Amino acid sequence: MRVLLVEDDEMIGRSLKQALEGAGWSADWVRDGELAQSALADGDYTCMLLDLGLPRQDGTEVLRRARERGDATPVLVLTARDGLDDRIHSLDLGADDYLRKPFEFRELLARMRAVVRRRDGAAHSLIGGSTLQLDLTTREVVTGGAREALTAREFALLHALLERPGAILSREQLENRIYGWGEEVTSNAIDVLIHGMRRKLGAESIRNVRGLGWRVAA
Ligand code: CA
């Protein structure tokens, strides 16, 4: 699960990035609106945390342009402004939810899970197909009625695959979903991860489509 954190306040940005990583998210942090635009255009993010008051381009402008481009990344707006107009405006522009600073980190995580879940089309916390499901709240995989704990990377891998069961994801798409900027990704990292998942969940759980990538059964 990869999040784009857009925050110009050094202290808030640094502590949020650290806390998100501690909670198993891969977090890319940018400090202005223009960098947010280019990161969004290049990256494949599970969700974006967006401050409104930003240098170079305001958060509402980032949001407006992203939605105009057809970018459907779930957006949670973080704002110190207590103006009702700002909150209504950002929701109308396509934000999925907002949180006023200061907030409790636990609440931020719960709201992130909620916006991601809604994008996945699930009212409850389970997503996936008939044989394999993922619990977004407990971060466990559910298979044949049994639950199994996952590492942060295993969770990110399965989340990417189970968003659209049956769809093939390439190595590059999976790497983009699992690793943040500056993270060392060895050429066989995805293979090692999938090998481990198959040992846990069975050889047929994740299928290789030669030359194209991987998928889970629909
Ligand atoms: Ca700000």
- Whole-number Å distance, alpha carbon 36 to ligand 1 midpoint, is 13
What are the pLDDT digits (tens) for 153-192?
Answer: 999 999 999 988 889 999 999 998 888 887 888 999 999 9
Judged against a pLDDT cut of 90, whether residue 124 lies above it is answered with no
Contact criterion met (CB below 8 Å) for 76 and 98: yes
For the chain, domains (ranges, CATH) are 2-120 (3.40.50.2300), 126-215 (1.10.10.10)
CA-based end-to-end distance of the chain = 21
Q: What percent of the chain has pLDDT over 90?
A: 63
- Whole-number Å distance, alpha carbon 73 to ligand 1 midpoint, is 21
What are the pLDDT digits (tens) for 34-66?
Answer: 999 999 998 889 999 999 999 999 999 999 999
Judged against a pLDDT cut of 90, whether residue 79 lies above it is answered with no
- Whole-number Å distance, alpha carbon 45 to ligand 1 midpoint, is 21
- Whole-number Å distance, alpha carbon 55 to ligand 1 midpoint, is 8
β-strands 140-143, 146-149: how paired?
A: antiparallel
Phi and psi at 130, nearest 5°, equal -80, -30
Cα distances from 144 to residues 47, 66, 137, 141, 202, in angstroms, run 29, 40, 19, 10, 11
Over range 100-123, report the average pLDDT: 88
- Whole-number Å distance, alpha carbon 104 to ligand 1 midpoint, is 18
Name 155's bridge partners: none
Judged against a pLDDT cut of 80, whether residue 121 lies above it is answered with no
Rounded-to-10 torsion of CA 178, 33, 17, 161:
-20
| One-letter-per-residue 3-state SS of 26-60 | EEEEECCHHHHHHHHHHCCCCEEEEECCCCCCCHH
